Amino acid sequence: MPDAPLRFRPHHFLCALGFAGKGYSDVFTANLVHIVVDRLRAEGGDQTLVEVVDAADDICAPCPKRRGLLCETQDRIVTLDARHALALGLCAGDRLTWGAAQVRMKSSVPPGSLATLCAGCQWLDLGLCEAALLRLHSDEERDASF
């Protein structure tokens, strides 16, 4: 039986891309390692199915800020999700592979755009997501040169 799709809020696509071992708590970080490192970045991870949701998702599951299906900073999260959904052309219920999601991020989110797209995110100043986005675009340029 194939793995159930991962459930992601729209802004978690770029969070997963930029994940580098940091999180809100040890349990939250361990969950992200399982999702991002063990599934998405593992061999064959590009084929992992991801379903877009409009409430708490698989990344949120152990988050200390989670309040049922919502977040203690729900207004900020809704704003982030709306910006990301628009930028990536995502709607709740959409399903796509992680590989297809990366193609969307490459084509829809240019380097330097996270300051606006992710405004209000406490992780933005660390530069992890911007660095990952630059790597994603660099991989594209390197692939095009062969």
Most distant pair of Cα atoms in the chain: their distance: 49
0.95 cut: is pTM over it?
A: no
Confidence of residue 2 (pLDDT cuts 50, 70, 90): low
Beta carbons of 130 and 114 less than 8 angstroms apart = yes
The closest of 56, 115, 53 to 90, measured between CA atoms, is: 53
Provide the residue ranges of all domains of the chain, joining segments of one domain with +. 6-144
Name the least confident of 16-25, 41-50, 78-87, 133-142.
Answer: 133-142
Whole-number mean pLDDT of the chain?
A: 90
Burial class (CB in 10 A: 0-12, 13-18, 19+), 26: exposed
Question: pLDDT at position 23, please?
Answer: 83
The pair phi, psi for residue 61, each rounded to 5°, is -45, -55
Q: Is the pLDDT of residue 143 over 80?
A: no
Alpha-carbon Rg for the chain in angstroms:
15
pLDDT digits (tens, 9 = 90+) for 69-78: 888 888 999 9
pLDDT digits (tens, 9 = 90+) for 42-83: 999 999 999 999 999 999 998 888 888 888 888 999 999 999
Q: Which two tokens stand for residue 38?
A: 């063990």
Q: Is the pLDDT of residue 145 over 70?
A: no
